[in-house]
């Protein structure tokens, strides 16, 4: 599998475009108060963009996010206006809150790594003694992080968020309510697919004084899933859980001496590693949505994206909204 079929960057110039931003995994083109977000195949872990892009990753995540945003629209308004291409979402340009609302129903990942060092409080939330990795928590907890533009996000408590004035009291109350409601809905959706939603993160922003759900929702990059079948048996046997998430990428990096810390070097991403990660993303797609990822003509992806964006700009009349 050649990296040439993966979308590492885009370099479009669209009529009516007012700005551009390149994020960790998305290229964003601005049109006044609307934006065109292109999900590239870049991949990040430990807040570091890895050197090679992963074929199909962008469209896998964009399609899953689109389905879940539509499925949760009745709970909270979201930023999406149109999804004209498997790799593209067009939506409102919201002003993001500088926090990510991380919610956890199980002791896994970062929470477990903190817990096993002896910590019993995470972001102000108390955790009971005697838990094992991947145990279900007594109730879902919100463990927010600051949203860093550069470097690592940091754990933060509700009190610190309010004391620093990062979010107002009234807005934060709404964010908490939205987060728990979305997690409940996400758990229901996962259960229908034979999965357990272990933890996830939500990002919110303001648009015309309203709070909107932004970014991606319930994707394997923003969430961790366990297979429900055999979960309890694996816990009883203290076996690793079978899971769907980007955790396998993090584990590969950890095993090869990288956690995003100063002085560490990303291990070599061979063709076999890239192919393995790409294959796992296809598996994630099929399990989460219950359908096979459609075949595409890799040689025309960039042309297809450009054509679909241009046509969508015309159809939703973006230029008239600038």
Say if 292 falls within a structural domain: yes
Determine the pLDDT at residue 173.
97
Strand partners, 197: 225
The answer to whether residue 254 is domain-embedded is: no
* Residue 29 lies inside a defined structural domain of this protein: yes
Residue 71 and residue 115 share a domain: no
Query: Secondary structure of 248-288 in the HEC alphabet?
Result: HHHHHHHHCCCCCCCCCCCCCCCHHHHHHHHHHHHHHHHHH
CATH number of 301's domain: 3.30.200.20
Q: Are residues 244 and 106 in the same domain?
A: yes
Clarify whether residues 135 and 245 are in a common domain. Answer: yes
pTM of structure: 0.88
Residue 67 lies in a domain: yes
CATH number, position 132: 3.30.470.20
Q: Is 53 found in the same domain as 190?
A: no
Residues 242 and 114 in one domain: yes
Contact 308, 88 (CB under 8 A): yes
Residue 259 domain-assigned (yes or no): no
Q: Which residues pair with 47 in a beta bridge?
A: none
- Look at residues 218, 211, 220 and name the one whose alpha carbon lies nearest to residue 92: 211
Residue 77 shares a structural domain with residue 110: no
27 occurs within a structural domain: yes
Q: What is the reported pLDDT for 298?
A: 87
Cα-Cα-Cα-Cα dihedral sign, residues 123, 129, 134, 140: negative
Domain count for the chain: 2
Same domain membership, residue 73 and residue 42? yes
Same domain, 43 and 132: no
Domain that includes residue 301, residue range: 3-95+271-321
Indicate whether 260 belongs to any domain. Answer: no
26 in the same domain as 88: yes
110 and 225 in a common domain: yes
Q: Is residue 136 part of a domain?
A: yes
pLDDT in tens for each of the 322 residues of the chain? 444 589 999 999 998 899 999 999 999 999 999 999 999 999 999 889 999 999 999 999 999 999 999 999 999 999 999 999 999 999 999 999 999 999 999 999 899 999 999 999 999 999 999 999 999 999 999 999 997 554 556 889 999 999 999 999 999 999 999 999 999 999 999 999 999 999 999 999 999 999 999 999 999 889 999 999 999 999 999 999 988 888 889 889 999 999 988 899 999 999 999 999 999 899 889 988 989 999 998 889 999 999 999 999 877 655 444 4
């Amino acid at each position: 599998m050649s990296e040439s079929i993966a979308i590492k960057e885009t370099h479009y110039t669209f009529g009516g475009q007012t700005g551009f931003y390149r994020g960790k995994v998305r290229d964003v083109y601005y049109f006044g108060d609307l934006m065109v977000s292109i999900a590239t195949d870049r991949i990040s872990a430990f807040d570091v963009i890895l050197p090679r892009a992963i074929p199909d990753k962008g469209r896998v995540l964009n399609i899953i996010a689109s389905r879940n945003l539509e499925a949760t629209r009745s709970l909270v308004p979201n930023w999406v206006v149109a999804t004209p291409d498997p790799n593209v979402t067009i939506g409102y340009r919201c002003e993001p809150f500088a926090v990510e609302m991380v919610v956890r129903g199980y002791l896994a990942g970062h929470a477990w790594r903190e817990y096993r060092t002896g910590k019993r409080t995470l972001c102000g939330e108390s955790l009971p003694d005697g838990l094992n990795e991947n145990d279900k928590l007594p109730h879902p907890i919100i463990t927010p992080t600051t949203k860093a533009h550069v470097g690592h996000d940091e754990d933060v408590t509700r009190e610190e968020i309010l004391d620093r004035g990062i979010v107002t009291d009234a807005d934060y109350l709404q964010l908490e309510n939205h987060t728990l409601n979305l997690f409940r809905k996400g758990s229901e959706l996962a259960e229908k697919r034979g999965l357990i939603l272990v933890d996830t993160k939500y990002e919110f922003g303001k648009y015309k004084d309203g709070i909107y759900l932004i970014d991606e929702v319930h994707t394997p990059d923003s969430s961790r899933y366990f297979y429900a079948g055999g979960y309890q048996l694996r816990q009883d046997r203290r076996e690793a859980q079978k899971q769907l998430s980007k955790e396998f990428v993090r584990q590969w990096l950890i095993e090869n001496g990288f956690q995003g810390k100063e002085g560490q070097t990303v291990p070599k991403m061979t063709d076999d590693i890239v192919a393995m990660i790409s294959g796992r993303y296809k598996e994630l797609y099929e399990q989460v949505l219950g359908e096979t990822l459609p075949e595409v003509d890799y040689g025309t992806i960039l042309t297809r994206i450009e054509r679909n964006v241009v046509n969508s700009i015309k159809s939703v009349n973006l230029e008239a909204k600038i």
